[in-house]
């Protein structure tokens, strides 16, 4: 894919819109930001624009959610991380925003209000239509150039993501460029063997990834864990007990069982499942062979023997792509599988984490520096790994075609 990057453009003295993803966990009662990882990931891009007037565009949550709030606290946190003033502007594209941008000097950083306060930003639309929204037209009129650094929302087709690139010259920021480079390597030049670890509760996403990377030969093997493994057990006709089976029904994943069976039938030697699991029995961890668990006990982790087998598999892999925990890691008794597998994965020559809860755990246990790449993407990362063309990347390519090297 070919799109412009910061290396391709002259930004000195220019007014630059920078779309970032600062959407973070917040305590609604105090408006306190609980995790600033996404802020930290965007700092290099903003610092690279130190001779520009930087106008940051971002969102927090979405309408109807308790953490849908202003970006005043975000400006304070960004200011602290950058070590320089960040002006919070209580406006998106009105007179107040325009005046603040007009008065800015090179080296200044402004953070406009939550772009999702504009109703147009909450619509999913074609880029050609997004280009003509009031939001995009007003924002584009304020700046010379746009930089999209928001990989976390790259799977969304919303005005500031896909409309701005059609309205003005838009290039990828450093984080966006890094994400695409590292995730693309999984499909092109990843050290062999390549092992995908797919777990957690997002069964449909994991099955979509498994099907894609097995069909195109990217993955040499797939290690299935977490709730995803329970679906595969059902596909094999194995009894997993009422609590675990009911959870799959509650999550609406009964339709995924047939898809899991199709994968097992097509790639019997490439899909690996734990043979031992841990359940909660009388409020304690108990381990059983798969299929022999008590009918009324939920499966909450891998068994110790299977943890050893999987850890060896991962430590012998050239590449590990890890997406989703092995069990209910929030409870210490059932965190062993997740922690041990992450330690093993970190030893691979090239290790990638798909973001979300798994990335948070990696940081929590001090393994962040041992992984080659921790994606900020979550849903965007998953869609990339399923082979889908992300709307933001498509828009960046089109913008390069439309505006090329001109500024």
What is residue 377's predicted lDDT score, i.e. its pLDDT?
A: 87
pTM above threshold 0.85: yes
> Do 203 and 254 lie in a common domain?
yes
Give domain status of residue 380, yes or no: no
> Do 16 and 143 lie in a common domain?
yes
Sequence-ordered list of residues with C-beta below 8 angstroms from that of 17, at least 6 positions apart, any chain: 55, 57, 139, 140, 142, 143, 145, 146, 147, 164, 168
Task: Name the nearest CA neighbour of 210 among 263, 261, 251.
Answer: 263
CATH of the domain at 332: 3.40.50.1260
What is residue 357's predicted lDDT score, i.e. its pLDDT?
A: 79
Whole-angstrom distance, CA of residue 325 vs CA of residue 321: 12
Give domain status of residue 300, yes or no: yes
- pLDDT tens per residue, range 68-100: 999 999 999 999 999 999 999 999 999 999 999
Give domain status of residue 205, yes or no: yes
> Do 130 and 197 lie in a common domain?
no
Indicate the pLDDT class of residue 378, thresholds 50, 70 and 90.
confident
* Secondary structure letter of residue 332 according to DSSP: G
Query: Two tokens at 105?
Result: 């000097």
**3-state secondary structure (DSSP) of residue 231:** helix
What number is the average pLDDT over the span 386-407?
89
What number is the average pLDDT over the span 231-251?
97
What is residue 358's predicted lDDT score, i.e. its pLDDT?
A: 87
What number is the average pLDDT over the span 244-251?
97
Whole-angstrom distance, CA of residue 228 vs CA of residue 238: 14
> Do 149 and 215 lie in a common domain?
no
Domain hosting 167: range is 6-175+389-403
Whole-angstrom distance, CA of residue 9 vs CA of residue 17: 14
Between 26 and 356, the more confident residue is: 26
Ramachandran region of residue 288, left (φ > 0), alpha (ψ -120 to 50) or beta? beta
Give domain status of residue 383, yes or no: no
Give domain status of residue 85, yes or no: yes
What is residue 111's predicted lDDT score, i.e. its pLDDT?
A: 98
What number is the average pLDDT over the span 126-146?
97
What number is the average pLDDT over the span 355-360?
81
> Do 162 and 209 lie in a common domain?
no
> Do 235 and 323 lie in a common domain?
yes
Give domain status of residue 255, yes or no: yes
What is residue 1's predicted lDDT score, i.e. its pLDDT?
A: 65
Whole-angstrom distance, CA of residue 380 vs CA of residue 362: 19
pLDDT of 177 over the 90 cut: yes
Residue 172: which H helix or E strand, with range? strand 170-172
Burial track 77-87 (b if 16+ CB lie within 10 A, e otherwise): bbbeebeeebb
Domains identified in the chain, total number: 2
Give domain status of residue 379, yes or no: no
Whole-angstrom distance, CA of residue 346 vs CA of residue 338: 12
Residue linked to tokens 């093997």: 221
What is residue 405's predicted lDDT score, i.e. its pLDDT?
A: 62
pLDDT of 355 over the 90 cut: no
> Do 39 and 155 lie in a common domain?
yes
> Do 343 and 393 lie in a common domain?
no
* Secondary structure letter of residue 219 according to DSSP: -
319, 334 Cβ separation under 8 angstroms: no
Give domain status of residue 181, yes or no: no
pLDDT of 221 over the 70 cut: yes
> Do 88 and 207 lie in a common domain?
no
Share of the chain above pLDDT 70, in %: 99
- pLDDT tens per residue, range 274-306: 999 999 999 999 999 999 999 999 999 999 999
DSSP calls for 90-153: S-SSSHHHHHHHHH--TT-EEE---GGGSGGGG----HHHHTTSHHHHHHHTT-SEEEE--GGG
Indicate the pLDDT class of residue 343, thresholds 50, 70 and 90.
very high
264, 232 Cβ separation under 8 angstroms: yes
């Amino acid at each position: 894919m070919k799109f412009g990057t910061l290396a391709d453009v002259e930004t000195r003295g220019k007014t630059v819109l920078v779309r970032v993803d600062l959407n973070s966990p917040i305590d609604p009662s105090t408006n306190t930001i609980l995790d600033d990882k996404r802020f930290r990931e965007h700092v290099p891009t903003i610092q690279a624009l130190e001779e520009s007037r930087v106008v940051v565009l971002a969102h927090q949550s979405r309408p109807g959610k308790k953490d849908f709030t202003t970006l005043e606290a975000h400006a304070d946190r960004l200011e602290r991380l950058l070590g320089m003033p960040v002006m919070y502007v209580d406006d998106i594209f009105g007179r107040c925003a325009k005046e603040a941008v007009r008065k800015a000097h090179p080296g200044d950083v402004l953070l406009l209000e939550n772009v999702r306060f504009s109703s147009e930003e909450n619509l999913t639309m074609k880029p050609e239509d997004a280009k003509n929204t009031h939001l995009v037209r007003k924002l584009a009129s304020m700046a010379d150039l746009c930089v999209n650094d928001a990989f976390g929302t790259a799977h969304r087709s919303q005005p500031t993501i896909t409309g701005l690139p059609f309205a003005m010259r838009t290039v990828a920021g450093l984080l966006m460029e890094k994400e695409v480079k590292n995730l693309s390597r999984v499909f092109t030049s990843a050290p062999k063997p390549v092992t995908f670890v797919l777990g957690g509760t997002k069964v449909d996403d994991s099955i979509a990834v498994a099907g894609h990377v097995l069909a195109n030969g990217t993955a040499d093997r797939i290690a299935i864990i977490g709730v995803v493994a329970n679906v595969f057990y059902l596909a094999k006709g194995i009894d997993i007990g009422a609590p675990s089976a009911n959870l799959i029904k509650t999550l609406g994943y009964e339709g995924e069982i047939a898809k899991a069976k199709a994968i097992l039938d097509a790639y019997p030697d490439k899909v690996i499942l734990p043979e031992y699991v841990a359940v909660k029995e009388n409020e304690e961890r108990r381990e059983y062979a798969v299929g022999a668990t008590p009918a009324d006990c939920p499966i909450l982790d891998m068994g110790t023997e299977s943890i050893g087998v999987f850890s060896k598999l991962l430590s012998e892999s050239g590449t590990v792509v890890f997406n989703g925990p092995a069990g209910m890691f929030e409870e210490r008794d059932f965190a062993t599988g997740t922690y041990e597998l992450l330690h093993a994965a970190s030893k691979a020559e090239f290790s990638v984490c798909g973001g979300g809860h798994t990335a948070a755990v990696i940081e929590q246990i001090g393994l962040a520096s041992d992984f080659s790449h921790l994606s900020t993407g979550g849903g965007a990362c998953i869609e990339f790994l399923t082979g889908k063309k992300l709307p933001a990347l498509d828009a960046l390519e089109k913008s390069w075609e439309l505006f090329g090297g001109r500024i």
